[in-house]
Amino acid sequence: MLIKSRKRGFTAIELMVVVAIIGVLVALMVPAVGGVRESARRSQCQDNLHNVIIALHNYEGAHKGLPPGFIHQVPNHSNYGWQAMFLPYVEQKPLYDLIRPGNPGLADALTNAKKAKALQSKVEFLVCPSEKGAATNSHFVAFDSDDEPHELALSSYVGNNGSDLIPREWSTKDHRLHVRPPKGIFGPNVSTRFGSITDGTSNTIGVGERTWTLKNGKDVNKCGAAIYAGVIGDGKVINQRAILGSSAFGVNSVKGDEKTVHCESGISSAHPGGAQVGVLDGKVSFLSEEINQELLDNLFVKDDGNAAYLP
């Protein structure tokens, strides 16, 4: 007589062990997958910065100078900035032709519904894929000539204004602009030529990142990113931080007072440990948030004779 053998299954303990092992493996894999995704986003952001620098080279070749940081066209109002002016060199000529920077000025253009809507359009390569902000910028809000607010398309990049403190709010009592050449690359009504960058394009930063928010332990600090349209103003004062950044505020710095943090005026990113910058020779470098302040200042100043080399 044949005796049928009974197949032995998993015991409850064995099943629990298997589930625990799977759980551990998943826990180990999740950070790794997240790291790979962030690496891909950071690489795309690097390509964006490189393309910005190439576009600036093409603009400089055509106009014998880089675009001004912004055009101080209407005193203490929103005015077009450097990113709006170089749109034809980044395959955005239809958008450029629609908004026609400078004709009229930004504050007047925003009273036109068609132009205002166009200025809310996202320009993909001007937004870092790591950015968690919304499509439009609710932090740096532009006002039109009727004093109506507008949230405009967000940008992840700011131009190098130098090593000086950028005024949080800037106003001129006589409504005239008193221009002095910027220590950096971009300033009001100033078109920088490559020939004036005596420290060398390989030693001078052109643009850098700025993120929407920056974590500091459990705190989340609002940096505000940027907008590509230009500076913002309400008829009384203008705010340059919407498109420009200074080395004086460091990298990923959250120091400041109860109303502002340094990352609103400096450079910052969602990448752990620092932020990327586009150097004027076309390369892109990652700057640690622990970078020496003197070295950072030298990298932002174009002609002080202190040619600094990127770490």
Q: Does 307 score more than 50 pLDDT?
A: yes
In one-letter notation, the amino acid at residue 288 is S
* 258 pLDDT higher than 70: no
pLDDT tens readout for residues 52-92: 999 999 999 999 999 999 988 887 889 999 999 999 998 89
Over 60: is that where the pLDDT of 39 sits? yes
Alpha-carbon distances of 171 from 125, 168, 175, 234, rounded to whole Å: 32, 10, 8, 11
215-239 pLDDT tens trace: 777 778 889 999 999 999 888 888 8
The rounded percent of the chain whose pLDDT value lies above 90 is: 56
Asked if the model's pLDDT at residue 3 lies above 70, the reply is: no
Q: Pick the range with the lowest mean pLDDT from 64-73, 166-175, 210-219.
A: 166-175
Instruction: Indicate the pLDDT class of residue 32, thresholds 50, 70 and 90.
Output: very low
What are 251's two structure tokens? 């990298």
